[in-house]
Structure formats: structure tokens, C-alpha cells
Amino acid sequence: MSEDGVQVECSITVEQLDSAGQTSRRQVLRKASILLGRNEFQDLILRLHDGKVSQSFAAQDFKLFTKFVREGKCTIRLLPSNTQILLSNCPPAQLGAFLKTLTIKHQASRCDRALSQRERLKAGLPRSFEAISPLQHKDIQKVNEQRAQASAAGKLADRTNTAAGRGAQVKRSRDNCGFSPVKANPTKKPVLALPSCKLNKEQAAVLSAVLSGKNVFFTGSAGTGKSFLLKRIIGSLPPKSTFSTASTGVAACHIGGTTLHSFAGIGSGSAPLDQCISLAQRPGVLQHWTSCRHLIIDEVSMVEAHYFDKLESVARSVRRSTEPFGGIQLIVCGDFLQLPPVSKGKDKAQFCFQSRSWRKVMQVNMELSEVRRQTDQSFISLLQAVRVGRARLDLGPREQTGPGAAGTDWTRGRGNGLDPGTRERTGRGNGLDPGPRERTGPGNAGTDWPRERTGPGNAGTDWTRGCGNRLDLGPRERTGPGAAGTDWTRGRGNGLDPGPRERTGPGAAGTDWTRERGNGLDPGTRERTGPGAAGPDWLLALTPLLSPLRVTEDVTSRLMHSAHHSIERDGILATRLCTHKDDVELTNQNKLQQLPGNHGNHTTHLTAPGSHDLRGVREFEALDSDPSLEKTINAHSPVSRLLQLKVGAQVMLTKNLDVARGLVNGARGVVVSFQTEKHGFDEASEFI
């Protein structure tokens, strides 16, 4: 499939309109392509091809209907011939690029003098067609110059009209070059530019592997542009047969898709295969499975191995195909060093690359290595070292004996899996602990915790020493709280904490995963075509990271400094991640208290009518019509029975309510007001 804006593959309908604008003839090409080119006289030509025959249309003068481009649809009305070309099921990114090329090339060629019929006949050139060259800087420049001229001419005309002082409407003079068939007023158009966000080489290689039809898994550390690329991939595939999914609602939301579970319709997948197949054959669900040609799965690190195997078997069965995954092309993305799958019960959840079907299905593994989120190379190296558990703290002897020894012990304890738990943690600095209120420390990664760690035992160095102990653990030792991923999710109150035994947090995950990759789970050398594909190449890329990176004081202080960055969007602050629920609750209480308004509580029963004073804290109590059920519901809900809120409070949804509207588990917002008449939160005005 073409990505250069010259061609689109899609369904095409050609309609011939009569003088009344009614369709007099219609031709449907279900699987076709439209190609932009030039004939022997350099006229713009649209060539349609359905695999057998082609037909050409001159694109001298046309009108575009582009309202549904994002849905992969568009109409080109060719004005002189009264013909309509309706494009549908186009990869939206391809369609957008095609229309941009068509418009700009058309505008750029308006300045060229058109040959008369006589001149054409006299030229006696043989018929030809050549695909147009992709958009270049000179095309853009030409059109921008035309626009500037048209704009200047427009202003001059306006001034002349005003000077005439007649107030009568005078037609704006319009030279040939400035006229745009797409919109009547070219002077209002913004200055054009070539797309600035081009894929880098690695990303382009992944896209081309995807467009070649292979099943592709691509990974990369945080900020390497996985999501950026995924959106581009989605835009390059036909919308009707492409299903975008992710393991979590939040991730699904980012790519405008649904959760993988909702696509598959087999619940948790723990039922026997026959039952799962029946579930997948329900109306509505079966249609997903049968119409899907390309399945995108984002945040695949959270997809559990058994579930992946189940999906693979169900796909073959419902699609009546013996091909892996029933012939569906899989495009899978994620970072196994980030969040692991959720364990249920005592069984340790396995990563999907450990499943039986993974090797059978995945044809290409690729890794993005260029970090696009940051530019500071030393900071990137540090993050990469932390990612694989290879950061070693470089401490001077002085700090090791200082007053922070208590802090050190404490953090060392944590790093070694000896975390004494909440009770013992109050003994942390031997009386130096600033107390629970200030406890916004180590694990509570967030933006401003270092600032709040003001107690003596909380000196930066001590903390970082502790932290260093944590980071310095080899992969094998990484069983303690340092594997923050799981604790973190516990902190979020999402019920994802698999407990200490199932601790398969990022570090641990990465280790197993990298070990597995090196141990033959790799799909083999032939398929290892991508940059950083699994196996030796991939290990080579990691080599600089395998030797521990020294975390010097300079690095430490820069890291500490970065904690003061204020990260905020639309009043919604960056979420602080905590290792323990208690810390979450204390932090939330503190923050709520810091907001203006008194603390005289006003309890609102979520199920009862009535209005309340809106100042100060508002307390919502969850009740159920069946009081006997309340206990069970409360026990299973990640949110406490009583919810205290104030205007200005930062809130996070803990349930997927409406993925399409972005109301997903993890969506954040800020309370802007309380409704006096209604109860509950039926109107979320702002959230991200």
C-alpha cells in the first residue's frame, strides 16, 4: 500500500450525474485503487484500477467533499464531466495524504498555461500516463507564493473598494493562479507545510512490515514512539476490516479503539474452549471476528498467555481457518518491561510471549530504539539502565555514615524485599520520620514528592542511596518492592496487585522476557528482519546497558530536580504513583484539605434525592436498595463506600464506563462543580 499520497486502495463507486444532479449510471469497484498521475500534456489524471481494467478521468476542475475523511470516505466531483468518484474504506492516513497531494499539485499547476485543443492536436504526442511524484518542498512553496500573491491582491482590491467609498459590493479580482476549486477563497488559507512528523527509519520499517501483510510485534522503551507509530499504522489500514484494541480501556481510548476483551467477547477466556467459541459466535461478536482482517493489540504486555492462546484457538474456529489466528493479521505493540499481566488467584500470570501460539503467530519482531520523548542523552541512558535494572549508585564514603543511615537501612530493607509493611515503616528514621502526613516519599513517584520530604531522615542522598540499592539489584534479585509496577497498580487502587508472590513487575518481566528472547523464543533468524529484532541483534543493542550505569551525584541531583517539573494539562495534574494504598489515601486526604473550603461534611446518598450545601467537602455514600448486598459490593469495589470531594479535587475513574467517550478506568479529571438538582456524575465536563 502506498504511503506517499499518490495512490489509495479502497472501494470506489463512479456515478454519472444528469443535468438535475441525479445519478444516471453507477459502477461499483469493491476492491480497487485510485492513482494520481499526468498524461502526455502534463494534465492531472485520476486513474481507477480494479485489478483488471483501468479507466482515467481528467482532474482539471473538481470539488472535494471531505467531511468523512477520518472514516476513510471522500467524494471527488469532476465538474466538467459531471462525474462523481466516491471513495470508501480507504486507510484514512493514505486518503488524507492523497487528497493533500491532489489539491496541492492541482493548485501548483494552475499557473501553467493550458494548451488549446488545436495545440494538442498539432503536438501529435502518443498517449501516456505516469504516476505523479510525491509532494515536494517546491510544490508547497509554489502554492504558498500563489496564496501570498492572491492575498496581497485581495487586500489591494479591498483597499481600492474602500477608497471608492461606495459601499457597494465589488467582486474581488481573481487571477487564474489564485483560484482554488476546493474552496472559493484562497486568501484565507493557512500557509502550507510538508508534514513535519515523519516516521524515523525504525518506525518506517515497522510500517512497511505491517503493510506487507506480516504479523508484527514491535516494542521499544518508553518514548520511542510506539503509540505514535501505532496511530499511523491504524491510519494506513482499511477501516472496515481493521480492529484497534488494547489490553486496557485507557490504552484503547488513546488509539480510538475498544478493549481486546470487548472485541473478543469471550469474557476472561477462562471458560473451556467450546464455551468460549459459543460466546464468540453470539450476534455482534461473531461479526467482529469474521470481518476482521487486521487486529491491532496495544499494551500487549498486559495480555495473559492463556488468554492469548484462547483467542488464537477461537479465531481459527469461528473463522473456519487452519491458519494461525484464523488468518487475521496481528499487529501487536507493547513493552514487556512495563506493566505485566494481572494475576488471578495464586497462579503467576504468564506473558503472552510465553504462550504456545505466540511463536506460531508472530512473524516479525522489531524494536524501536530511538527515544523521541527526551533529547538529553545522559538522562535517556539512565532511564534505559533503570529499565533493565542496571543502574548502580556511585556513593561517596561520607554519605554512608551520615544521619541518614536509618533512612538507608529502611530503603535497603525495601530494596531487599524486607519491606516491613506500613506498621514498621513508621519506625523508619528511628523517630526521624516526619510522620504519615508527610509521607509522600520514595515509592510515591510523582512530580513533587522530594519537595515534601523535609524530615531529617529524608535527605536526598540517603534516599537516593536507598534507591540506588533498589536499582542496583541484578535481575534475579528483583523480587522486592523495587519492582514497582505491581505495587504501583495496587496504589492506584485498581485491584491489579497480584500480591508479592506474583510479583512480575517491570524489572522482573523484562528479565524473564529478555532471557526467553535469548533462549529460542525468537521466531528465527529469517524473520528477524527488523531493527533490533529479537535475538543477537537485539542483545547487541542492549549491550551498553548490560554493564551497570553509575548513578553519580550529578545524575541524582538532576533527577531530583526533574521531580519539580510541573506537569499539568487543563488543570489536571500528573498522577503521583504510590507503592502502597495507605500512601495514596494519605496523599489524597492532604490534597483535599489543602483545597479551599471548610470541612463540614455534607453527605449525599448516591441513590437518594435532595440537595446540599456546595461549600467545603462533599461526601457521597454508596447505598444499594438491597442492604444485604452492600457489604459484598463494597468488598469488591476498588472505591471506598464513602467518597469525599471538593471543587478542584483531582479525580480518577476506576471503571470502564464508556470507552468511546474516554470514560475509562484511569481517565482523570477535576471536579468543576456539583449539580444541585441531580446526583451522581452524569455529566463529565472535562477529563483526559
- The DSSP bridge pattern shows strands 242-246 and 568-569 to be unpaired
Least Cβ distance, residue 100 to ligand ATP (angstroms): 18
Least Cβ distance, residue 336 to ligand ATP (angstroms): 11
Least Cβ distance, residue 311 to ligand ATP (angstroms): 23
Cell of 519: 533462549
Does position 203 interact with ligand ATP (CB under 6 A)? The reply is: yes
Distances from the Cα of 126 to the Cαs of 39, 59, 117, 120, 197, in angstroms?
A: 10, 20, 15, 11, 41
Least Cβ distance, residue 197 to ligand ATP (angstroms): 4
Does position 376 interact with ligand ATP (CB under 6 A)? The reply is: no
Least Cβ distance, residue 227 to ligand ATP (angstroms): 3
Does position 372 interact with ligand ATP (CB under 6 A)? The reply is: yes
- Options 20, 53, 163, 197; binder of ligand ATP; rule CB under 6 A: 197
H or E element at residue 368: strand 364-368
Query: Which position has the grid cell 546497558?
Result: 545
Does position 687 interact with ligand ATP (CB under 6 A)? The reply is: no
Least Cβ distance, residue 217 to ligand ATP (angstroms): 14
Least Cβ distance, residue 223 to ligand ATP (angstroms): 5
Given the complex with ligand ATP, which of 81 and 447 has the nearer CB atom? 447
**Interacting stretch for ligand ATP, rule CB under 6 A, among 46-54, 196-204, 349-357, 396-404?**
196-204
- The DSSP bridge pattern shows strands 23-39 and 7-17 to be antiparallel
Q: Tell which residue, 580, 568, 422, 587, has the closest CA to residue 487.
A: 580
Distance of CA 211 to the CA centre of its chain: 20
What's 10-23 look like in SS3?
EEEEEEEECCCCCE
Given the complex with ligand ATP, which of 134 and 455 has the nearer CB atom? 134
Cell of 64: 472535494
Distance of CA 225 to the CA centre of its chain: 9
Sheet with 618-621: strands ordered across: 602-605, 618-621, 642-645
Helices (H), 1-129: 92-109, 117-123
358 exposure class (CB count in 10 Å sphere: 0-12, 13-18, 19+): buried
Least Cβ distance, residue 462 to ligand ATP (angstroms): 30
Least Cβ distance, residue 551 to ligand ATP (angstroms): 21
**Interacting stretch for ligand ATP, rule CB under 6 A, among 34-42, 144-152, 216-224, 627-635?**
216-224
Q: Tell which residue, 196, 193, 21, has the closest CA to residue 104.
A: 193
Given the complex with ligand ATP, which of 337 and 555 has the nearer CB atom? 337
Cell of 245: 484494541
Interatomic CA distance for residues 550 and 686, integer angstroms:
43
- Options 159, 344, 373, 605; binder of ligand ATP; rule CB under 6 A: 373
Given the complex with ligand ATP, which of 220 and 324 has the nearer CB atom? 220
**Interacting stretch for ligand ATP, rule CB under 6 A, among 40-48, 197-205, 351-359, 606-614?**
197-205
Given the complex with ligand ATP, which of 139 and 367 has the nearer CB atom? 367
Least Cβ distance, residue 219 to ligand ATP (angstroms): 9
Least Cβ distance, residue 322 to ligand ATP (angstroms): 34
Least Cβ distance, residue 200 to ligand ATP (angstroms): 5
Given the complex with ligand ATP, which of 314 and 331 has the nearer CB atom? 331
565 exposure class (CB count in 10 Å sphere: 0-12, 13-18, 19+): exposed
Given the complex with ligand ATP, which of 222 and 273 has the nearer CB atom? 222
**Interacting stretch for ligand ATP, rule CB under 6 A, among 221-229, 457-465, 595-603, 652-660?**
221-229
Residues of this chain, 463-502, that bind ligand ATP according to CB under 6 A: none
Given the complex with ligand ATP, which of 334 and 389 has the nearer CB atom? 334
Residues of this chain, 222-281, that bind ligand ATP according to CB under 6 A: 222-228
Query: How many other C-beta atoms are found inside a 10 Å radius of the C-beta of residue 684?
Result: 16
Least Cβ distance, residue 96 to ligand ATP (angstroms): 17
Does position 193 interact with ligand ATP (CB under 6 A)? The reply is: no
- The DSSP bridge pattern shows strands 618-621 and 642-645 to be antiparallel
Cell of 583: 500512601
Given the complex with ligand ATP, which of 232 and 528 has the nearer CB atom? 232
487 CB-side CA count, 13 A: 24
Write the DSSP assignment of 488-547 as a string of letters.
HHHHTTSS---TGGG---HHHHHHHHHHHIIIIIS--TTT--STT-TTHHHHHHHHHHHS
- Options 199, 521, 639, 670; binder of ligand ATP; rule CB under 6 A: 199
CA angle 363-368-373, nearest 5°?
150
Given the complex with ligand ATP, which of 150 and 332 has the nearer CB atom? 332
User: How many residues does this entry show for the chain?
Assistant: 688
171 exposure class (CB count in 10 Å sphere: 0-12, 13-18, 19+): exposed
**Interacting stretch for ligand ATP, rule CB under 6 A, among 151-159, 181-189, 198-206, 605-613?**
198-206
* Helix, strand, coil shares, percent, the chain, to 5: 40, 15, 45
**Interacting stretch for ligand ATP, rule CB under 6 A, among 29-37, 192-200, 444-452, 657-665?**
192-200
Give the binding-site size for ligand ATP (rule: CB under 6 A). 15
- Options 3, 15, 335, 462; binder of ligand ATP; rule CB under 6 A: 335
Least Cβ distance, residue 242 to ligand ATP (angstroms): 19
Least Cβ distance, residue 340 to ligand ATP (angstroms): 14
Cell of 390: 542496571
Least Cβ distance, residue 522 to ligand ATP (angstroms): 21
What's 586-643 look like in SS3?
HHHHHHHHHCCCCCCCEEEECCCCCCCCCCCCEEEECCCCCHHHHHHHHHHCCCCCEE
Given the complex with ligand ATP, which of 372 and 581 has the nearer CB atom? 372
The residue whose Cβ lies closest to ligand ATP is 225
**8 Å CB contact between 47 and 56:** yes
Give bridge partners of residue 10 from the DSSP assignment: 32
Does position 179 interact with ligand ATP (CB under 6 A)? The reply is: no
**8 Å CB contact between 654 and 494:** yes
Does position 623 interact with ligand ATP (CB under 6 A)? The reply is: no
- Options 92, 220, 340, 531; binder of ligand ATP; rule CB under 6 A: 220
Given the complex with ligand ATP, which of 35 and 210 has the nearer CB atom? 210
Given the complex with ligand ATP, which of 33 and 514 has the nearer CB atom? 514
Radius of gyration of the chain from Cα atoms?
Answer: 31
Given the complex with ligand ATP, which of 256 and 427 has the nearer CB atom? 256
Given the complex with ligand ATP, which of 468 and 531 has the nearer CB atom? 531
User: 6 — alpha (psi -120 to 50), left (phi > 0) or beta?
Assistant: alpha
Given the complex with ligand ATP, which of 99 and 368 has the nearer CB atom? 368
**Interacting stretch for ligand ATP, rule CB under 6 A, among 195-203, 234-242, 289-297, 501-509?**
195-203
Given the complex with ligand ATP, which of 94 and 203 has the nearer CB atom? 203
**Contact set with ligand ATP (CB under 6 A):** 197, 199-200, 203, 220, 222-228, 335, 372-373
